[in-house]
Amino acid sequence: MTEKSLKNDEIDLIELITILWKKKLWIMLSSFIFTAIAGVYAFTAKEQWTSSAEVIAPRTMDLGDYFSVRKEYSRILGSEFDAGATASNLFSQFNLLSESLDERRKFFVQSDFYKKKVEGKSETEKAQILSELISKHITIKKPDSKKEPDLIGNKISFYAETPADAQNVLSQFISTINQSAYQIELDNFLLYFNELVTDLNYEKTKFERDLSIHKSVQLENLENALRIAKEAGITEYAKSLGITNGQSTMQQALTMSEAKIPLSDSKLSDSTYLFMLGEKYLKAQIDVLKDSSIVYPPRYYQVSSLLSELEPLLIKAKQAKANAFSYQASPDYPVVKDKPKKGLILVIGFIVGLILSILIILLGSFIRTIQDKY
């Protein structure tokens, strides 16, 4: 580059600085105006504060009364209870519901926070606010060792216009999802529990019904046989087997053979031949049968014992409480707002005003120079 060209560049630069210096008031005024505009925005824009919480799978102690109910249920039935699997199922249900837009909608529609925000709004505005709350205000981040190596559980965040609202709404949301997740788990357990109790009650009732019917039929047969025995004059079983002169040898043999075989295998076990037992024996059997209680099989007492333990436990299960998650970090109270960053906005406003005014002045000077040449 020649000495002349260097000299011309120096002259041009000095000329530009001179032009800008002459317009310094306009530059300062422009910067002030843009800074003021930025300040108006910074001090009137809605603030955004974010509260965050980190949740992990529930520990055994978080299962509360539900743990003892499930443990006792398994003990009664002679099975094993896997507390780890139950905790994992609860946390999976919690995560599923927390990401459900329907569950979020259900929560916000019933919340005081939403009701306050939509006061005096049109239906369209209400729908828009609800949509933003559901899809934008709540975020969930899953552990990522690359981006956030310190994150162990799921990070749930919610932002609002005040730090108190951000913390309170997030706490309420997590609590609501927790209750819903546990209720689903409890309802599934109670479904099988109720079914088991119903089946056992039916089995017990069937035992009672069938054996009661059997006793009634047996009693009716004995009473009919007693009436026949009275009519036939058969007083005692031994006398009815006595040998008379009119009996043939074959009849005597048949009668004696019936006396030698067990009663259950004899014709006398048939209601048709019961009268042959004699009036005295039949009456004694009727009296004993009426006074004695029904003798049930061992299974009946097993079922009764199970019901005596399960039915009180069922009532206890309906009242049990548990958490579907555990806090690694509870919802925090934000101390630094996300936006607006007032200082940064003021600086940006000043710089934009400064640069824009300089460009306008230089552009105007360039246009005038071109006009003077032509």
**Mean model confidence pLDDT for the chain:** 81
pLDDT of residue 102: 94
For 235-244, the pLDDT digits (tens) are 876 554 444 4
For residue 340, say if its preceding peptide bond is cis, omega within 30 degrees of 0.
yes
Answer whether residue 266 shows pLDDT above 70. Answer: no
Q: What are the boundaries of each domain within the chain?
A: 206-243+263-315
Q: What is the pTM of this model?
A: 0.70
Higher pLDDT, 69 or 211: 69
For residues 103, 104, 106 and 108, what is the CA-based torsion angle, rounded to 10 degrees?
Answer: 160
Greatest distance between any 2 Cα atoms in the chain? 169
Count the alpha carbons within 13 Å of 350 in the hemisphere toward its beta carbon.
7
**Model confidence pLDDT, tens digit, residues 191-206:** 999 999 999 999 999 9
Residue 373 pLDDT grade (very low, low, confident, very high; cuts 50, 70, 90): low
Given a cut of 70, whether residue 327 has pLDDT beyond it is: yes
- For residue 345, the model assigns a pLDDT of 67
Q: What is the pLDDT of residues 139-180, one digit of tens each?
A: 999 877 677 666 778 999 999 989 999 999 999 999 999 999
- The pLDDT assigned to 245 comes to 47
Hey, which CATH number is domain 206-243+263-315, 1.20.120.850, 3.30.930.10, 3.40.250.10, 3.30.1890.10? 3.30.1890.10
Asked whether residue 339 carries a pLDDT value surpassing 70, the answer given is yes
Helices (H), 233-324: 237-240, 249-260, 279-291, 298-319
**Residue entry with tokens 């299960």:** 317
